[in-house]
Structure 1
Amino acid sequence: MARTPPTTVTRVRLWRWRRNPLRRRSDVAEAWIVLVAWTLAVLGGGFAGVVAAQVTDSGFAARRAEVHAVSAVLTDDVAKTPTAASGDDRGRVWATVRWTDPGGSPHTGLVKVFPGAPDGTRLTVWTNRAGRVVSEPVTGTEATFQVVLTGALVAPLAGAAVWAAGWAGRSLLMRRRLAEWDEEWKQAGPEWRRFSGGRG
Structure 2
Amino acid sequence: MRTIVGLWRWRRNPLRRGTDLIEAWIALAAVLLLALATPVAGWFCGRAVDSSLRDTVRLQHEQRHRTTAVVVGRSTEPRFTTYDTESAATQDVGTRVNATWRATDGSAHSGTVSAPLYKPRRGDTFRLWTDDRGKQVQSPMNATGARTHAVLAGFGATVLAAGLVECGRRLIVWRLVQRRYRRLDQAWAAAGPDWGRTGAGS
TM-score relative to the length of structure 2: 0.69
**Partner of residue 105, structure 1:** 107
Deviation at 1:136, TM superposition (A): 1.7
- Determine the C-alpha separation between the residues in 2 that align with 1:65 and 1:121: 31
Answering whether residue 51 of structure 2 is matched by residue 58 of structure 1, we say: yes
CA 129–175 in structure 1, closer or farther in 2 if over 3 Å, else same: farther
Conserved? CA contact 2:47–2:150, under 8 Å: yes
CA 126–104 in structure 1, closer or farther in 2 if over 3 Å, else same: same
TM-score relative to the length of structure 1: 0.69
What whole-Å deviation, never above 9, does each CA across 1:154-200 have from its counterpart, x for those lacking one? 3223212221122112111111112112212322445563479898x
- May I ask how many residue pairs the two structures share in their alignment? 187
- Secondary structure at 2:73's aligned position in 1? coil
What percent identity do the matched residue pairs reach? 30
CA 70–169 in structure 1, closer or farther in 2 if over 3 Å, else same: same
Matches within 5 A, 1:6-85: 13-14=6-7, 18-67=11-60, 68-78=64-74, 83-85=78-80
What whole-Å deviation, never above 9, does each CA across 1:4-43 have from its counterpart, x for those lacking one? xxxxxxxx83257514454343333322322222322333
Conserved? CA contact 1:16–1:27, under 8 Å: no
- Secondary structure at 2:72's aligned position in 1? coil
Of stretches 167-176 and 91-100 in structure 1, the one that deviates more from structure 2 is: 91-100
Structure 2 gaps, min length 5: 83-89
- Determine the C-alpha separation between the residues in 1 that align with 2:199 and 2:98: 96
RMSD (Å) for aligned C-alpha atoms:
3.6
Of stretches 163-172 and 102-111 in structure 1, the one that deviates more from structure 2 is: 102-111
Of stretches 158-167 and 70-79 in structure 1, the one that deviates more from structure 2 is: 70-79
- Determine the C-alpha separation between the residues in 2 that align with 1:162 and 1:112: 50
- Determine the C-alpha separation between the residues in 2 that align with 1:143 and 1:15: 47
Deviation at 1:70, TM superposition (A): 1.7
CA 122–64 in structure 1, closer or farther in 2 if over 3 Å, else same: farther
Deviation at 1:130, TM superposition (A): 5.5
CA 132–24 in structure 1, closer or farther in 2 if over 3 Å, else same: farther
**Partner of residue 152, structure 2:** 149
- Determine the C-alpha separation between the residues in 2 that align with 1:24 and 1:58: 50
Of stretches 142-151 and 63-72 in structure 1, the one that deviates more from structure 2 is: 142-151
Letter in 1 for 2:58: A
Structure 1 gaps, min length 5: 1-11
- Determine the C-alpha separation between the residues in 1 that align with 2:156 and 2:107: 45
- Determine the C-alpha separation between the residues in 2 that align with 1:106 and 1:196: 109
Letter in 2 for 1:38: V
- Determine the C-alpha separation between the residues in 1 that align with 2:133 and 2:30: 49
Answering whether residue 174 of structure 2 is matched by residue 171 of structure 1, we say: yes
